């Protein structure tokens, strides 16, 4: 098999030459095949001939999720349906799902970037990949599946759910690699503990966790409880699915597969690039996608961009943890709050379980935030005083991190609903009469 990862270590100048050739071709193709791009590029007065350097990227128009929604289902397609061999949809976390399509070559690209994702964690033919991402319209399941096959690992397409079967497979089939959302991985860790199975007696060694925001505190929890190296992965349906970026074992940001996806991090108001290290909105250009060419897609995900060399030898730029989506942002009494900030605060207190739900209400025109979180079993067993003490401690911590006072409800273990996919972290009841369950 050709060395798929060679491109991850080429000199920046060589990588950028490749990106420029691909960018020019993308613009030509988008203008020729997709009415929306033709019109936008015309308005911007740019043709593929104007793309002379990568800096010209900034002259190109943006694409947004609402463009996909307006074009629902197939208006973004640059090929006739005969050339489409797969259709997926986004999870629909923030509204109507967007439909995405792949040509045969797109599937090959996707398998390649997913193989590279797995290889970043050292996955190879000897591995048994326990793929608990959901199979179906969601891109997580099949994305990991094809990548795992390409590296020659044995993939177990277990999908999410059926906890007992998950535990049986871990033990009997010797899963070495776990692929799932971080919240589901935590649920599995809990289920193993309950069944009296010690993680060190399993063969798991690496986990690829993503599809939802998570924190360093959660990483520590997953690494100790599952006895794995926990790597962050990021991707989104509109761009390809998972496979856009992954951490290397250095775990200092996720390398973007820049030969296929060109990243920018921009100020979401001015659309100027943010200074190095500052947080902004991630904008991705899909350099090679055939079915749906993607010009400067505004992901609404917030992150940082780091182009400095990485100790692992990859020359690919890295994005930081996704701290939230612009549309996840809650404005509570005028303060901007992302659920991941609350998670960060909670995870600094050892006696809590990282299962939480934020409930926002409005009473008499005043917003209130309730943070529901589970206590560790020992605290719950110690009784009411211990629970109240923990709540007070958490309240102080949250105030320290977000500068907002929240009502903290410390609940017994297992009170908060678990999900096999993306966890639900927010219940915003403002404008809905304010009644919570």
CB of 384 to ligand ADP, least distance (A): 36
Q: Give the nearer residue to ligand ADP in terms of CB position, either 48 or 64.
A: 64
The HSE-up count of residue 95 (CA atoms within 13 Å, CB side) is 9
3-state secondary structure of 21: helix
| Contact flag: residue 247 with ligand ADP (CB under 6 A) | no
| Closest alpha carbon to 373 in 391, 388, 361 | 391
- Residue pair 342/371 in contact (Cβ under 8 Å)? The answer is yes
User: Rounded distance, CA 216 to CA 222, Å?
Assistant: 10
Judged by CB under 5 A, which stretch of 39-47, 79-87, 303-311, 424-432 contacts Zn ion? 303-311
Among Zn ion, ligand ADP, none, what does residue 299 contact (CB within 5–8 Å per kind)?
Answer: ligand ADP
Q: Give the nearer residue to ligand ADP in terms of CB position, either 138 or 184.
A: 138
| Contact flag: residue 351 with ligand ADP (CB under 6 A) | no
| Closest alpha carbon to 142 in 84, 206, 88 | 88
Given 32, 193, 201, 250, the residue binding Zn ion (CB under 5 A) = 250
Is the backbone of residue 161 left (phi > 0), alpha (psi -120 to 50) or beta? left
| Contact flag: residue 237 with ligand ADP (CB under 6 A) | yes
User: Rounded distance, CA 46 to CA 267, Å?
Assistant: 23
Given 8, 112, 127, 212, the residue binding ligand ADP (CB under 6 A) = 212
Given 63, 117, 232, 304, the residue binding ligand ADP (CB under 6 A) = 232
Given 160, 213, 280, 354, the residue binding ligand ADP (CB under 6 A) = 213
| Contact flag: residue 304 with ligand ADP (CB under 6 A) | no
3-state secondary structure of 160: coil
- Count of residues in contact with ligand ADP, rule CB under 6 A: 19
Bridge partners (DSSP) of residue 285 are: 262
Bridge partners (DSSP) of residue 154 are: 128
Backbone angles phi, psi at 332, to 5 degrees: -115, 115
| Contact flag: residue 236 with ligand ADP (CB under 6 A) | yes
Backbone angles phi, psi at 370, to 5 degrees: -110, 130
Among ligand ADP, Zn ion, none, what does residue 253 contact (CB within 5–8 Å per kind)?
Answer: none
Among ligand ADP, Zn ion, none, what does residue 210 contact (CB within 5–8 Å per kind)?
Answer: ligand ADP
Given 92, 161, 249, 412, the residue binding ligand ADP (CB under 6 A) = 92
| Closest alpha carbon to 113 in 290, 233, 11, 271 | 233
Judged by CB under 5 A, which stretch of 71-79, 85-93, 196-204, 246-254 contacts Zn ion? 246-254
| Contact flag: residue 322 with ligand ADP (CB under 6 A) | yes
| Pairing of the two strands 128-131 and 177-180 | parallel
Q: Give the nearer residue to ligand ADP in terms of CB position, either 237 or 315.
A: 237
| Closest alpha carbon to 106 in 246, 290, 259 | 290
3-state secondary structure of 428: strand
Among Zn ion, ligand ADP, none, what does residue 234 contact (CB within 5–8 Å per kind)?
Answer: ligand ADP
Q: What does the binding site for Zn ion look like in residue numbers (CB under 5 A)?
A: 248, 250, 310, 312, 314
Q: What does the binding site for ligand ADP look like in residue numbers (CB under 6 A)?
A: 90-94, 138, 210-213, 232-234, 236-237, 299, 301, 322, 325
């Amino acid at each position: 098999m050709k060395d798929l990862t060679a491109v991850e270590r080429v000199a920046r100048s060589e990588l950028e030459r490749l990106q420029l050739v691909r960018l020019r071709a993308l613009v030509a193709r988008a203008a020729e095949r997709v009415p929306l791009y033709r019109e936008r590029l015309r308005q911007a007065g740019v043709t593929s001939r104007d793309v002379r350097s990568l800096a010209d990227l900034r002259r190109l128009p943006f694409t947004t999720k609402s463009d996909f929604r307006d074009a629902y289902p197939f208006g973004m397609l640059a090929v006739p349906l005969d050339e489409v061999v797969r259709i997926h949809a986004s999870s629909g976390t923030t509204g109507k799902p967007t439909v995405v399509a792949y040509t045969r070559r797109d599937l090959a690209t996707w398998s390649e970037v997913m193989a590279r994702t797995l290889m970043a964690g050292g996955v190879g033919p000897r591995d048994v990949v326990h793929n608990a991402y959901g199979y179906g319209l969601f891109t997580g399941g099949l994305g990991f599946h094809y990548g795992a096959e390409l590296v020659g690992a044995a993939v177990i397409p277990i999908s999410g759910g059926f906890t007992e079967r998950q535990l049986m497979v871990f033990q009997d089939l010797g899963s070495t690699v776990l692929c799932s959302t971080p919240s589901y991985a935590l649920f599995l860790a809990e289920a193993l503990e309950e069944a009296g199975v010690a993680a060190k007696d399993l063969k798991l060694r690496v986990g690829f966790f993503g599809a939802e925001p998570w924190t360093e505190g959660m990483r520590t929890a997953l690494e100790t409880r599952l006895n794995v190296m926990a790597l962050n992965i990021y991707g989104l349906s509109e761009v390809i699915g998972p496979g856009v970026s992954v951490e290397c074992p250095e775990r200092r940001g996720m390398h973007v597969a820049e030969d296929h996806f060109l990243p920018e991090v921009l100020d979401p108001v001015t659309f100027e690039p943010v200074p190095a290290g500052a947080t902004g909105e991630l904008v991705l250009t899909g350099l090679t996608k055939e079915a749906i060419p993607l010009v400067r897609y505004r992901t609404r995900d917030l992150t940082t961009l780091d182009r400095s060399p990485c100790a692992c030898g990859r020359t690919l730029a890295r994005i930081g943890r996704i701290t939230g989506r612009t549309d996840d942002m809650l404005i509570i009494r005028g303060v901007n709050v992302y659920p991941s900030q609350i998670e960060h605060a909670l995870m600094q207190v050892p006696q809590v379980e990282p299962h939480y739900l934020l409930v926002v209400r409005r009473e008499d025109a005043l917003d209130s935030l309730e943070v529901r979180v589970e206590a560790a079993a020992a605290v719950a067993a110690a009784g009411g005083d211990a629970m109240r003490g923990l709540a007070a401690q958490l309240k102080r911590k949250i105030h320290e991190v977000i500068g907002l006072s929240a009502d903290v409800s410390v609940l017994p273990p297992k009170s908060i609903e678990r999900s096999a996919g993306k966890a639900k972290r927010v219940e915003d009841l403002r404008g809905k009469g304010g009644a919570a369950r």
